[in-house]
Amino acid sequence: MRFLICLFALLATASTASEYVVGYGDTLSDISLHYYGTWEKWVDILAANPELPGAEYLVPGMVLYIPNATEGFVSPGSTRYVNDLSAGTVLITSSEPILSRIQRESAGFVTYSPLNPEGYVLATNAEEEGVYRHLTALPGDLLELDFGADQGVEVGRVFHILRECEEVEDPETGNTGRVIRVAGVCQVESITPSTSIAKVQHGYLPVLEGDCLVPYRTADDIYVHNEEGVDRGLLWVLGFRDPDRDCAYTFDVVYLSAGSSQGISPGDVFTAYAASEQVRDVNEVWVSTAEIPIADVVVLTTEDRSCAALIVNTRTANLIELGDKLYLSRSQVD
């Protein structure tokens, strides 16, 4: 009898299988971290779901079988962690499409000071000798990095891959900055004293030789206050996350001309306006037309003097363009 009681107790406390409904922005690595406390078991989840041809085929609403799941486990930094909310606050989590974790971690930024990366991408095709050398790397490809054990790198370290792009000018101050875009995320698989081999886990742009590497930083949850905000002045559109765009659509990311030093915080909501024009009225007098609201944007991340924001809805047929100006809105929802 004692043996049976111990057996039942053991079975009750053992890890069990579970099902997980995929949310917008989820990745197998995130789900592995949530259930197992490590990124590495994403391959086990993939193997347990034979109808899923690859990690890149996740679709919101898909139900995944999670083998040997530990019930109730929540890893540090998980987007499933829920904190106490102040009155009038809405928590945007990764399962909601407006402010997904992927959007926040891939937003990029504008900087007015030089980057200080830990290293650079030496080669974009490091699979094996004799393989055709590709000029770019995509998720699943291996990279050679220009730092290794002598610089303190360890197997399993995760890095954001950044790319320095075009210069932009703040219309208010005339200061010149540079757009920094996120090309992807990679994880170190092997090291030598002076180099490392890392696999591209997620990709937002094709990775190129010379791209910068900085330590991976997970995105925090964003709190959107549905109360009237404090006037933070006028902001301007400096650039777009997509380097080939000259205007921006809903769910695109734009870079704005103010940051944390001006009191901007993630979750702040701004409305972009088309500039007024000088026209003649019926009395042949020059007058200024009204500034037409174009779209609302929600701040994703902030730097000292700039921020990245997601376009969450459009108000007219016009699209946001470089030089458009923005004012702080009352709230994210009507």
| φ, ψ (nearest 5 deg) of residue 115 | -70, 155
Query: Quick one: which of 179, 186, 166, 182 has its CA closest to 124?
Result: 186
Instruction: Provide the CB-side half-sphere exposure for 100 (13 A, CA).
Output: 17
Residue length of the chain: 334
* Residue 271: closest CA among 301, 313, 238: 313
Three-class DSSP category at 9:
helix
Assigned CATH for 2-69: 3.10.350.10
pLDDT in tens, the chain (334 residues): 443 334 333 333 344 557 888 765 677 877 887 787 777 788 888 889 988 887 777 776 788 888 887 544 443 333 332 334 444 444 433 333 345 566 778 889 999 998 899 999 998 877 765 555 568 888 888 999 999 999 999 998 889 999 999 999 888 788 899 999 999 888 899 999 999 999 888 788 899 999 999 988 877 666 555 555 555 667 889 999 888 888 888 888 999 998 988 888 888 888 888 766 676 666 777 766 666 778 888 888 899 999 999 887 777 677 888 888 888 775 433 3
Q: Could you tell me whether strands 119-123 and 158-169 are parallel, antiparallel, or unpaired per DSSP bridges?
A: unpaired
CA angle 277, 280, 284 (to 5 degrees): 165
Residue 320's CB is within 10 A of a number of other CB atoms, namely 25
d(CA 162, CA 180): 6
Cα distance between residue 324 and residue 255, in whole Å: 11
Alpha-carbon span 73 to 71, nearest angstrom: 6
């078991």: which residue's tokens?
A: 41
Q: DSSP assignment, residue 294?
A: E
What CATH class does 105-215 carry? mainly beta
Q: What is the SS3 assignment for 21? A: strand
Contacts of 228 (CB under 8 A, 6+ apart): 330, 331
Measured CA distances, 231 to 94, 113, 173 (Å): 29, 27, 19
Nearest to 236 by CA among 278, 270, 266: 270
The CB-side HSE value for 34 (13 A sphere, CA atoms) comes to: 19
**Distance of alpha carbon 157 from alpha carbon 235, whole angstroms:** 37
Q: Supply the CATH classification number for the domain 222-328.
A: 2.40.10.410
Domain extents for the chain?
A: 2-69, 105-215, 222-328
Maximum distance among all Cα pairs of the chain, rounded to whole angstroms: 101
Structure tokens at 34: 């949530």
The structure's pTM equals 0.58
- What pLDDT was estimated at residue 175? 87
> Closest by alpha carbon to 1, among 146, 9, 276?
9
CA 172/CA 229 separation, integer angstroms: 22
The string of DSSP letters for 6-57 reads HHHHHHHHS-EEEEEEPPTT--HHHHHHHHHSSSTTHHHHHHT-TT---GGG
**How many angstroms separate the CA atoms of 295 and 214, rounded?**
32
CA dihedral 242, 98, 105, 219 (to 10 degrees): 160
Cα torsion 105, 226, 238, 307: sign: negative
Tell me the C-alpha distance between 104 and 13, whole Å.
36
The pLDDT assigned to 164 comes to 93
